[in-house]
Amino acid sequence: MIKKKLEDIAIVMNVDLDNVAVAKEGIPLGYELEYRGELVKIKNTIKKGHRFALIDIKECEFVRQYGYPFGQSKGVVQGESITVSNIKNVLPEINRKDFKEPCEITFRPQYLNKTFLGYVRRNGYIGTRNYYLVVPTSMCASETALQVALNMDDNGENPQKYPNIDGIVAIPNTEGCGCDSTLQIDRFMRVLKGYIHHPNVGGCLIMDLGCEQTNYEKMHEYLKDTVKEALKPIDWITIQESGGTHSTIEKAKIIINDRLSAVNQVKREPCPLSKLVVGTECGASDSFSGITANPVIGNTVDKIIYGGGSAILSEVPEMLGTFTMLFPRFRTLEVANKFEGILNWYIDIARKLGLTLEANLVPKNIEGGLINNYIKSLGAVMKGGSTIIEDVLDYAEPVRKRGLSIMQGPGGDLESVTGIVASGATITCFSTGQGTTTGNAICPVIKVSSNDATFKKLSEDMDFNTGRLLSEQSSIDSLGEELLEKLIAVASGQKTWSEKWKQRQFQVWTAGKLPL
């Protein structure tokens, strides 16, 4: 028998409530692990990232991590690996009569007094970037808009002449026509409005082909309030009325060059954390995403909110099974019911298509130890921190309340981040276990690696390493402080890797699209 301290090769997220631990490395059969004055005898080989029982978990008792259930035991003995065969995907019911409104958030001086260097807009909103944006209103105008932006950004950009402009970018898309004129068009226009109105955008040129559902006539009417506010220079150009592709590109370049001086006039100045809106995302997750990266992001989100700021949590399909965990945190029962409503919407859609949300669990997730949707979801929502959930938003709906909001949205990285930014996120923290390179057209994205190996393997894509929780004497709170300082630096202008490599993804959520 080999004896070791459990904390040397495994991790327990909530020492008071959890009845499982997660292996930081492979644990052979026969090991004895010292834990809280007792020995846990390992009954079978435990793979890295997989869970094992700290005690005997009797049949029908709930298996818990983070202090919350993620399944029901079929009878698991101490030291045995937790697998798909020895638990049932069953969770306890919630009694809504037990709901109590949470206590108010206590703001903390050490965060209220922190500042970043941002771009102050005329309406009081604060940007972390100052982009000039070329906005195609449909798929038909997208390639032309992209050519304009690439030409201007690569050849016309003059850092000495325009030091306060971060770039000239376009948001090519596959939307705007060829589909039903209700849900999909409404959602698409809401996203475009969010980007045009966004505090990270200092000016924009809106481009249409001329005959699409989202042409000038439709879009101008939808955006008229934004245009009337005159918060930034907004121009329009129609390809069919401008002499075609080449002529449109040349005219667009003239318009943009005439506007850059005005866009460049705004300069960075000190701003409080209360003006930040932080988006949260996870992708290519592994078993450690919910143990290192997501809790550290959540800790940082809490600090932003303690400083009066705001945050957005999305990826609703990856919240399956978290209602028990989140229920005490909803501002009101109405907000809780709204959250359950958007979750049930996904379940209902899947049922109608003859599918289940279990498909959200990919083979690499299971191989890495995420044996069901519930444990994956519990880890995913950790990036939303621990504060009150103030509101539930529709996809790309503007943030209304200070604090944490949940946005209706898919689990797909590009679609999710696009909606989060449209809702108002000015900076995003993105956790990953396997590694992903996704960025955003107008919002800096900080890549947070869950483990040392991915951080080293993708050293020019990962911005922050939380794998140190497993390999060093670090804590979630200390790394949360470090990530906060990184976030402040990025918000103040420091480029992330995805920005350096011009990873400017933009993809609108197309759920409900029926090609016509």
Angstrom distance (rounded) from CA 320 to CA 385: 17
DSSP string, 328-394: GGBSSHHHHHHHHHHHHHHHHHHHHTT--GGGGS-HHHHHTT--SHHHHHHHHGGGG-SS-EEEEE-
* Comparison of pLDDT for 98 and 295, the residue scoring more: 295
Give SS3 for 119. strand
157-206 pLDDT, tens digit per residue, is 455 689 999 999 999 999 998 877 788 899 999 999 999 999 999 999 99
Question: Would you state the pLDDT for residue 159?
Answer: 54
Q: From the CB of residue 85, how many other CB atoms can be counted at a distance below 10 Å?
A: 8
Predicted confidence band of residue 358 (pLDDT cuts 50, 70, 90): low
Q: What are phi and psi of 312, to 5 degrees?
A: -125, 130
DSSP 8-state secondary structure symbol assigned to residue 513? -
Rounded to 10 degrees, the C-alpha dihedral 488/493/495/496 comes to 30
Give SS3 for 205. strand
**Inter-residue contact 399 to 310 (CB < 8 Å):** yes
Angstrom distance (rounded) from CA 99 to CA 437: 41
Q: 32 pairs with which residues across the strands? A: 3, 41
With residues binned 3-state (H G I as helix, E B as strand, rest as coil), the percentages for the chain, rounded to 5, are 35, 20, 40
DSSP string, 317-328: GGGTT-HHHHGG
Question: Would you state the pLDDT for residue 236?
Answer: 97
Predicted confidence band of residue 230 (pLDDT cuts 50, 70, 90): confident
Burial of 286 (0-12, 13-18, 19+ CB in 10 A): buried
Predicted confidence band of residue 511 (pLDDT cuts 50, 70, 90): low
Q: Please give the average per-residue pLDDT across 98-108, as a whole number.
A: 92
Relative orientation angle of helices 216-229 and 183-196, to the nearest 10 degrees = 40
Question: Would you state the pLDDT for residue 346?
Answer: 85
Question: Would you state the pLDDT for residue 461?
Answer: 98
Question: Would you state the pLDDT for residue 286?
Answer: 85
Question: Would you state the pLDDT for residue 1?
Answer: 72
Predicted confidence band of residue 449 (pLDDT cuts 50, 70, 90): very high
247 Cβ neighbours under 8 A, 6+ residues apart? none
Mean pLDDT, the chain, whole residue set: 93
Q: Specify the pTM.
A: 0.95
Task: Give the lowest-confidence range in 293-307, 362-376, 486-500.
Answer: 362-376
Q: Please give the average per-residue pLDDT across 96-121, as a whole number.
A: 94
CA angle (434 as vertex; 431, 436 as ends), nearest 5: 60
Q: Which of 150-164, 193-207, 357-371 has the highest mean pLDDT?
A: 193-207
* Comparison of pLDDT for 356 and 185, the residue scoring more: 185
Here the tokens at position 199 are 């505090």
Q: Are strands 404-407 and 201-208 parallel, antiparallel or unpaired?
A: unpaired
What whole-number percentage of the chain has pLDDT above 90?
A: 82
Burial of 154 (0-12, 13-18, 19+ CB in 10 A): exposed
Q: From the CB of residue 103, how many other CB atoms can be counted at a distance below 10 Å?
A: 7
Angstrom distance (rounded) from CA 405 to CA 310: 8
Q: Please give the average per-residue pLDDT across 330-335, as a whole number.
A: 96
Task: Give the lowest-confidence range in 34-48, 157-171, 393-407, 466-480.
Answer: 157-171
Angstrom distance (rounded) from CA 204 to CA 175: 19
Predicted confidence band of residue 36 (pLDDT cuts 50, 70, 90): very high
55-70 pLDDT, tens digit per residue, is 999 999 999 999 999 9
What whole-number percentage of the chain has pLDDT above 70?
A: 96
Angstrom distance (rounded) from CA 497 to CA 492: 15
Q: From the CB of residue 233, how many other CB atoms can be counted at a distance below 10 Å?
A: 17
Q: From the CB of residue 71, how many other CB atoms can be counted at a distance below 10 Å?
A: 25
